[in-house]
Each structure stands twice: as structure tokens, then as C-alpha cells.
Amino acid sequence: MASLGARLDAARSALWLRKCNQVGPGVQLDGRPYVWNEGRIRLGPGVQLSSRPVVSHLVTGPKGAIEISEGVSIGYGAAIASQGQIRIGAGTRIGPFVVLADTDFHVVGDRLSAPEARPVVIGRDVQIGPRVTILPGSTIGDGARVCAGSTVAGVVAAGTTVAGVPARVGGAADGAASRASLPERVQGAVARALGLPSPPPLSHGPGEIPQWDSLGALRLLLVVEDDFGIRLGEQDMVRVRKVGDLVSVVETRLGR
């Protein structure tokens, strides 16, 4: 007969996951997750979901579906949001503060319009490090490894290890980039993070760059942290109104 503690844990899990459509046996929670389900959420047997010390989120819209297979573990502070379909294969390990979404939530230039969702598929036995962002339409093959702080945009082949923003095999800054001035490096980081055809002027900011929305700002923060080996806080990014401001923030963090 199960102990009182085990029965209480099972009761809490059933209560906190009651909005899910299917919860397999042996699902384990550490802390209470935030679950908002207007579509479909399925948790396979033995899934482990941490929400301590930071709450993890599972969110679906009316047409959204989140399918998490057997034995998946998800670290605290994770945000998984679907307006279409997100599938995570068995045995995959997801680190803390991972952001995984199949939509940008609004059309650039028109916040009242909903963009088309693009499915995200993560294979079996994948390892995803902390602070990884996985963008709409991405596919990660079986056994792949995504290093901490990376941004996945597109296809990661099975069995490969990728890093950087965007994540790639052997991801690192090339020699030309390392010889560039600090403002040029920051401008290049902005272009890569936001998918711009060329580096923007130092005087440009969100008003001139439509891609610099909330999700774009998150991608930009991760790119800058990865490129310069620094950590940026919320107060740092509040100061940034244009690319030149970002140069100043990076200079301060580097102690220049």
C-alpha cells in the first residue's frame, strides 16, 4: 500500500495537472506548474516536470497541442507554448529556462493578427541545455545535443551537437568577426538575432526594426550573451532603446 506522502503527491499532481487531457502513470512534479489548456496537452508515463524555484508553463491555444512522451524531464522555468503542435520524444532532457514555441504570437506590425503556427518536433533522447530557445518550425533529430544558451531555428540533424545563435555544429564566431570593433560586433549580433539582411545603424531600435518585438528581444539577449560571454539582466535591457544603447551596455558588462 502506498505511503501517505506518496498518496498526497499523487493527489497534488492530479489537481495541478487536471487541465491536461492525458496524464500517464508515474508523472512527477517538483513544485506547481502553470497549465493553461485550450487545446490538447498529453503527458506520457514517467514525465518529470520541475517548477521549483521558478514556475514552468504549459500553454495551448484552441488549436494547439503539446505531446510530451515517456520519460521526458523538463527543468524549472521552462515555457512551452503551442498554437499548433509541439512534440517531444521519449527520454529527452530539457534544461532550466528553455523557451519552446510554435508561433511568434502576433504578426509583426499587426499585434491583432495571429500568425500561422509552425510545428516543432523534438526527437528521442535529445539533450537541451539551459536557456535554449527553440523557434517555430524547428526540428531536432534523435540523440542530438543543444548547448546552453543556443537558439534553434530550423533543422538539427540526429546525433549532432550544436551551439550558438543560431545553433549550428561547431558554432563559434569566425576570425573576421573577432577582429571587428565592438560596435560592429554588436550590430552583427543584432542582424543575426533578428534575421536582418545587413547590420542596422547604431541609431535604429524597435521603432525602425519591426523584428525587434518581445520574442526578438529575447533572441537578441541570448545572442549578445553568447557572443560576448556576458550575462544581461532585465535592467540592462530596459536601458536599450537603440543599437547604440546596446553597445554601451555590452561595454559596461565587459568593464571597458
Per residue in 106-118, pLDDT (tens digit) is 433 444 455 688 9
pLDDT at 15 over 80: yes
pLDDT at 178 over 80: no
**Who has greater pLDDT, 107 or 129?**
129
Of the listed ranges 99-108, 202-211, 235-244, the least confidently predicted one is 99-108
pLDDT score for 214: 78
pTM of the full structure: 0.65
Q: What are 207's strand-pairing partners? A: none
Domains and CATH numbers, the chain: 4-169 (2.160.10.10), 175-254 (1.10.1200.10)
pLDDT score for 171: 55
pLDDT score for 116: 81
Query: How do residues 54-107 score in pLDDT, each as one tens digit?
Result: 899 999 999 999 999 999 999 999 999 999 999 999 999 999 889 999 987 543
Confidence of residue 120 (pLDDT cuts 50, 70, 90): very high
pLDDT score for 42: 97
Average pLDDT, the chain: 85
